Amino acid sequence: MKLAGRKILVTGASQGFGLAVAERCLAEGADVAVCARSKATIEQAAATLRAKAAPGRRVFAAACDVSDAKAVDALVAETTRELGGLDGLVNNAGVYGPKGAIEDVDWAEWAKAMEINLYGTILPCRSVLPAFRARGWGKIVNLSGGGATAPLPRLSAYAASKAAVVRFTETLAEEVRGTRIDVNAVAPGALNTRLLDEVLAAGPEKVGKAFYDRSLKQKADGGAPLEKGAALIAFLLSSESDGITGKLLSAVWDPWAELPARLAELEKSDIYTLRRIVPKDRGKDWGDS
């Protein structure tokens, strides 16, 4: 029961990975608030969560556009009232956005994807920080993705926004360093969720043959288990991870359960962060002034 007695808000939790995270938080003893843009779908998700919740666990659900600052502030205020406080935030809401070459996609759709993925991460952080600072403790987990660390041709809004989310995570972690507020990003792995279905529906002409073929294989193989990413997020929301901050962690590839024993090493290094690769990193003897 890593999260016994804690109150956690999960955005984009009506289905898929967000719902799995909310379920894991409940299983670990937390009270949970969930939101999504659609009132009908988030209420359905809340019913699912309540059916699985142990006696005494609370589930609060609300519709919210996380790219709308006023709506986010109202959500955080209502969540705090309903749950009696807020200890952790998981920014999971996100979209792929338009698919295709940048000169061909609809600009309004591209900009909206940036708003949902990037603003929809920053605004909830802004809203919870005053209470976290006042209390001197808090946990924030932001969702990254494959676009953060490698180019994703024909999915440029997603790639650019997710890279920005990781750099924002690192930056916010430095802003709140010393306050006992930990801020991290998570790459949950290649998940078989609605985003994968969108890629397959778009077809190779829109997303490119290589990415489409990888997506077909992922669909057939089953993808990364949702539970792996949810377990990492529960760890980062718990006191077990205290002091681990400003990192991008892979649920599938990184030995995250061992990191508390390496806290001193992590604090003094750029391990698990975005950085520029220079020639000497690849064994070259040129490029240094």
Q: Is residue 202 part of a domain?
A: no
Whether 144 is covered by a domain: the verdict is yes
Q: What is the pTM of this model?
A: 0.94
d(CA 64, CA 44): 15
Give how far Cα 182 sits from Cα of 137, 150, 224, 243, Å. 8, 25, 26, 6
Specify whether 158 is catalytic: yes
Q: What's residue 148's pLDDT? A: 87
**Residue 51 resides in a domain:** yes
Q: Of the residues 96, 119, 158, 272, which is catalytic? A: 158
Range of the domain at 51: 7-189+224-255
Kindly state whether residue 270 falls inside one of the protein's structural domains: no
Q: What are the pLDDT digits (tens) for 23-37? A: 999 999 999 999 999
Q: Is residue 267 part of a domain?
A: no
pLDDT in tens, 82-114: 999 999 999 999 999 999 999 999 999 999 999
Q: Is residue 271 part of a domain?
A: no
Residues 6 or more apart from 68 whose CB is under 8 A from it? 123
Asked, for residue 238, whether it belongs to a domain, the answer is: yes
Secondary structure letter of residue 54 according to DSSP? P
Average pLDDT rounded to a whole number, residues 14-22? 96
Check which CATH number belongs to the domain holding 144 and give it.
Answer: 3.40.50.720
Q: What is the pLDDT of residues 128-157, one digit of tens each?
A: 999 999 999 999 999 997 778 889 999 999
Structurally, the chain folds into a number of domains equal to: 1
- Indicate whether 116 belongs to any domain: yes
